[in-house]
A and B are shown apart, each in its own frame.
Chain A
Amino acid sequence: MENHIDLKTESSADLKVFRSNNLKLRRFTQNFAYSLVWLAGLITVLSLLVVIGYVFMRGMRGFEPGFLTTPPAGGLSGEGGISTTIVSTVYLVLMTITIATPLGIGAGIYLVEYAGEQSLGSKTVAALVQVAHFGVETLAGIPSIIFGLFGYALFVTTLKFGFSLLSASLAGACLVLPTVIRTTEEALLAIPTGLREGSMALGATKWQTIKNVVLPTAAPGIITGIILSVGRIMSETAVFFVTLGGSFNMPTSVFSSGRTMALHLYYLAMDTRAFDKAMATGVVLISSIIVINLLINIVSRKLRVGVRD
């Protein structure tokens, strides 16, 4: 485009020189650009390795024997372990998932399997589905601190649940609900209609079809959504910073205040500057996240195999 040459007037020798120079320049540009692109990849991988490597290296200093099994002592240098924060994290994840998954999966099934055909007949249902998708899409991108703000105002103060596992898990459920709905919808939409029609043609009711044909096929996708939510809850700090209270004691009921590992890490770093202990907590946190990522990869590989069969 940029190098117009009149082939008739140019002597063929000039043309040759031009061509080879032009090719050299273009090759040089390509090599230069490629090295920049490779550099970008290198920086990305390196920054991951540096962050994780540094946290592991320094974390090992704070990782005394019994770190996982002793409770935090609460001193100014962050003595003790993280046993109670692990328990709080597990409770919070379980409670959040228990609240969010039935709602999210149910909503996803309704929106894909039922609302679609009903919205053909009724304009109200069609409008409702539109509104639902708008809500889910919008909230999927809203910053987590907004969910914290909501959880604080509604669950902690208005409903008087206080700073507790209950308030935090309700707020956390709101946070992951859009993710669960979306992954469920995507998993269901990926199933060929023929599968449903085959089941219906054999005389199965809609629900029998969903239960015995649709859900088993969509299971890996839906499970991926749940594992993603578990990871989200474990890494989330902002929501729980304003709803969970931050006590490092062992939680005794759903109204107990608590501290997740991520939150504990934040308090150690900001309040006591116990960086080695914070890094050690980070080691446990990152390791859990890596396990979760592996799980997601395994499940989604199963998903791909399932689709191929």
Chain B
Amino acid sequence: MKTMRQERFIVDRGIKYILLVFALISIIVLFLIGLFIFRQSLPALKTIPLSDIFLKTEWRPTMDRFGILAMIVGSVMVTIGSLLLGVPLAIGCAILLAEVAPRPVQEIVRPAVQLLGGIPSVIFGLFGMVVLVPLVRQIKIAGNTGFGLLSASIVLAIMILPTITTIAEDAIRAVPQSFRNGSLALGATKWQTITQVVLPSARSGIVAAIILGVGRALGETMAMIMVIGNSVIMPKPLNGNPFTIWLRQARTLTGSIATEINYAAPTHESMLFVIGVVLFILIMIVNVIARSIIRSSKH
């Protein structure tokens, strides 16, 4: 009896340490990723002046020109484009799911949104290449190839929609029913209740949803390579009309890493890690903001 009890406690303690080791390995690995990316970026950061990296647009690794400004602008513009198209759609969808649609419709739309979020990005990229790019090419303006910021923004808008819709819907649902009842009792219509009571109360959650969408947009890689054209140039309008800037080809930060890392010479490789660091920091800022908003709204 006694030995059995001792055995139980030995097993108990042993398991605890095994789990501790698993936890430590996981955590160490996760931090190693950050550390490794930073360490590998140091050679480039030491040899190339920061102003040459961040303020120059010329990216010619074979000639030691490593300006990444054009890619930063490319990433930022395609993110903005996808937000302009995707946010109204996503928030509309979230309102529909949380406030407007009857249950049977919800049961169709919600799985659709979920499935949309699960579809591999290469599928969206392929669809963009085969369907959207030829469509955009129909806009008859000299220099328009179809590949470019507009096609990429449309593809990306659909890709960030599930992220934003899901989180925004949760935020809207979290608004207490009594808020709605109070507003309706005062004679407000349902829509007035939504715009003046529900959405303002869910504001922080919705903002967090959009910010997480930004993170998703900045990080997308393969679909962007497939539709954005990938030329490293500062996007400029094709003619006098400033909107034609959206028809320009561009390249994202993520695209450069993916397409060049396997062939890069040492300095070039280290520069790609610098791009990784830039992405890492951008996303960290985005996520920390989003999470602190979510957390503060919960309290």
Partner-B contacts on A (CB < 8 A): 26-27, 29-30, 33-34, 36-41, 43-45, 47-48, 51-52, 54-55, 58, 102-104, 106-107, 109-111, 114-115, 128, 131-132, 135-139, 141-150, 152-154, 174, 177-178, 181, 205-208, 231, 234-238, 241-242, 262-263, 265-266, 269-270, 275, 278-279, 282, 285-286, 289-290, 292-293, 297
- The residues of A that contact B97 with a CB separation of less than 8 Å are 41
Q: How far is the CA of A270 from the CA of B129 in the complex (A)?
A: 9
Asked whether A43 lies within 8 Å of B89 as measured between CB atoms, the reply is yes
Known: A51-B123, A137-B291. A269 touches B22 (CB 8 A): no
Asked whether A145 lies within 8 Å of B20 as measured between CB atoms, the reply is no
Asked whether A26 lies within 8 Å of B92 as measured between CB atoms, the reply is no
Asked whether B16 lies within 8 Å of A207 as measured between CB atoms, the reply is yes
- The residues of B that contact A41 with a CB separation of less than 8 Å are 92-93, 96-97, 101, 105, 109
Contact partner of B276 (CB less than 8 A), chosen from A36, A51, A106, A146, is: A146
* Residue of A47, A111, A145, A265 most packed against chain B (CB within 10 A): A145
Q: Quick one: closest A residue to B33, CB to CB?
A: A150
- The residues of A that contact B29 with a CB separation of less than 8 Å are 103, 174, 177
Number of A-B contacts (CB under 8 A): 256
- The residues of B that contact A38 with a CB separation of less than 8 Å are 96, 100-101
Known pairs A30-B191, A51-B119, A149-B276. 18 more at Cβ < 8 A?
A30-B192, A38-B96, A40-B89, A41-B97, A54-B130, A55-B123, A103-B29, A110-B16, A141-B283, A145-B257, A145-B276, A148-B261, A205-B11, A207-B12, A231-B118, A238-B254, A289-B119, A292-B118
Interface size on B, residues (CB 8 A): 91
Asked whether A285 lies within 8 Å of B123 as measured between CB atoms, the reply is yes
Asked whether B88 lies within 8 Å of A40 as measured between CB atoms, the reply is yes
Q: Which of B7-42 contact A (CB under 8 A)?
A: 8-9, 11-12, 15-16, 18-23, 25-27, 29-34, 36-37, 40
Asked whether A44 lies within 8 Å of B16 as measured between CB atoms, the reply is no
- The residues of A that contact B122 with a CB separation of less than 8 Å are 235, 237, 262-263, 265-266, 269, 282
The 8 tightest CB contacts between A and B, nearest first, are A143-B219, A40-B92, A106-B22, A235-B120, A30-B191, A110-B23, A107-B26, A238-B221
Known: A40-B93, A135-B27, A266-B125. A45 touches B287 (CB 8 A): no
Is B178 interfacial (CB 8 A cutoff)? no
Asked whether B120 lies within 8 Å of A293 as measured between CB atoms, the reply is no
Is B245 interfacial (CB 8 A cutoff)? no
Q: Which of B218-275 contact A (CB under 8 A)?
A: 218-222, 225-226, 254, 257-258, 261-262, 272-273
Contact partner of B19 (CB less than 8 A), chosen from A36, A109, A148, A208, is: A109
Is B127 interfacial (CB 8 A cutoff)? yes
Is B280 interfacial (CB 8 A cutoff)? yes
- The residues of B that contact A37 with a CB separation of less than 8 Å are 92-93, 95-96, 100
Shortest CB-to-CB span from A35 to chain B, Å, is 10
Asked whether A266 lies within 8 Å of B222 as measured between CB atoms, the reply is yes
Shortest CB-to-CB span from A62 to chain B, Å, is 12
- The residues of A that contact B50 with a CB separation of less than 8 Å are none
Interface of B (DSSP majority class): helix
- The residues of B that contact A111 with a CB separation of less than 8 Å are 23
Asked whether B219 lies within 8 Å of A142 as measured between CB atoms, the reply is yes
Q: How far is the CA of A132 from the CA of B25 in the complex (A)?
A: 11
A-B contact pairs, 18 of them (CB 8 A): A36-B92, A40-B92, A41-B109, A43-B89, A44-B113, A51-B119, A52-B119, A132-B26, A141-B215, A141-B283, A143-B254, A146-B37, A149-B257, A152-B261, A153-B36, A207-B12, A235-B122, A289-B120
Partner-A contacts on B (CB < 8 A): 8-9, 11-12, 15-16, 18-23, 25-27, 29-34, 36-37, 40, 88-93, 95-97, 100-101, 105, 108-109, 111-116, 118-127, 129-131, 158, 161, 165, 189-192, 194-195, 212, 215, 218-222, 225-226, 254, 257-258, 261-262, 272-273, 276, 279-280, 283-284, 286-288, 291
Known: A33-B191, A55-B123, A131-B27. A103 touches B8 (CB 8 A): no
Q: Quick one: closest A residue to B109, CB to CB?
A: A41
- The residues of A that contact B26 with a CB separation of less than 8 Å are 103-104, 106-107, 132, 177, 181
* Residue of B37, B92, B97 most packed against chain A (CB within 10 A): B92
Q: How far is the CA of A145 from the CA of B257 in the complex (A)?
A: 7
- The residues of B that contact A148 with a CB separation of less than 8 Å are 257-258, 261
Asked whether A107 lies within 8 Å of B121 as measured between CB atoms, the reply is no
Q: Quick one: closest B residue to A109, CB to CB?
A: B19
Contact partner of B16 (CB less than 8 A), chosen from A39, A114, A132, is: A114
Q: Quick one: closest A residue to B20, CB to CB?
A: A110
Asked whether A286 lies within 8 Å of B119 as measured between CB atoms, the reply is yes
Known: A40-B96, A107-B26, A139-B30. A149 touches B16 (CB 8 A): no
Asked whether B23 lies within 8 Å of A106 as measured between CB atoms, the reply is yes
Q: How far is the CA of A263 from the CA of B158 in the complex (A)?
A: 21
Asked whether A269 lies within 8 Å of B129 as measured between CB atoms, the reply is yes
